[in-house]
A and B are shown apart, each in its own frame.
Chain A
Amino acid sequence: MRSVADLEATYADFAAAHGLESLPSYPAGPLTPLLVESGDGGIAPAARGRLGGEVDGVVGQLAYTRNKTFRFSVALADVPASTAFVPRLFCIRRGRHTRDDEFYGFEARESKLWTESIALNERYTVSTSPYQDPNWLRQLFSPAFVDWLASKAPASFSFELAYGALLGSVEDGDPDAAALAALCEATARVAERIAAESGE
Chain B
Amino acid sequence: MQINRVGYGLIAFFGVAGLLLATVPLFVSIPIEGAATLVLLGGIWFLVALGLLLYARHQKRKAAHQDWIFRNGLKGRATIVKASSNATVNEMPVMKMVLDLDLPGLERRQVTRREVMSVFAARRLEPGLVLPVHVNPEDPSDFVLVW
A110 beta carbon closer than 8 Å to chain B: yes
Contacts of B70 in A (CB 8 A): 130-131
Of A96-104, A143-151, A175-183, the one contacting chain B is A96-104
B52 near A105 with CB under 8 A, answer yes
Taking a contact as CB atoms closer than 8 A, the residue among A31, A36, A108, A131 that contacts B92 in the complex is A108
* Most B Cβ at <10 Å: residue of A33, A106, A107, A132: A106
Whether the Cβ atoms of B4 and A109 lie closer than 8 Å is no
Given A87-B147, A88-B121, A106-B3 in contact, is the A131-B134 Cβ separation under 8 Å?
A: yes
If A87-B146, A133-B75 touch, whether A105 touches B4 (CB-CB below 8 Å) is yes
CA separation between A76 and B8, bound complex, in Å? Answer: 39
Cα A102 to Cα B91 with chains together (Å): 11
The answer to whether B38 has its CB under 8 Å from any CB of chain A is: no
Smallest Cβ-Cβ distance to B115: which chain A residue: A108
Q: Which residues of A from 43 to 84 have beta carbons under 8 Å from B?
A: 83-84
Whether A107 touches B90, Cβ cut-off 8 Å, given contacts A83-B129, A129-B147, is yes
Main secondary structure, interface of B, reads mixed
> Which residues of chain A are near B131, meaning CB under 8 Å?
83-84, 87
Question: Given the known A-B contacts A84-B130, A131-B66, A131-B70, are A105 and B147 also in contact in the complex, defined by CB atoms under 8 Å?
Answer: no
- Per the bound structure, the CA–CA distance linking A30 and B119 in Å amounts to 10
How many chain A residues have a CB neighbour from B under 8 Å? Answer: 26
Hey, what's the 0/1 contact readout for B84-111 against A, CB within 8 Å counting as 1?
0000011110000000000000000000
Question: Are B89 and A106 in touch, CB under 8 angstroms?
Answer: yes
Contacts of B134 in A (CB 8 A): 131
- State which of A83, A104, A105, A110 has its C-beta within 8 Å of the C-beta of B118: A110
B59 touches A106 (CB 8 A): yes
Closest A residue to B77 by beta carbon equals A84
Interchain Cβ contacts within 8 Å, total number: 90
Interface of A is mostly: loop
CB of A26 closer than 8 Å to a CB of B? no
Contact of B117 among A30, A33, A102, A108 (CB under 8 A): A108
Q: Which 3 A-B pairs have the closest CB atoms?
A: A105-B7, A84-B130, A163-B124
Please name all residues of chain A whose beta carbon is closer than 8 Å to the beta carbon of B117 when the two chains form the complex. Answer: 108, 110
Does B90 lie within 8 Å of A106, measured CB to CB? Answer: yes
Which residues of A have CB within 8 Å of B3? 105-106
Q: Is B4 touching A107 in the complex (CB atoms < 8 A)? A: yes
Q: Pick the residue among B11, B63, B92, B129 that contacts A105 (CB under 8 A).
A: B11
Mark A140-182 against chain B: 1 for CB-CB distance below 8 A, else 0. 0000000000000000000000110000000000000000000
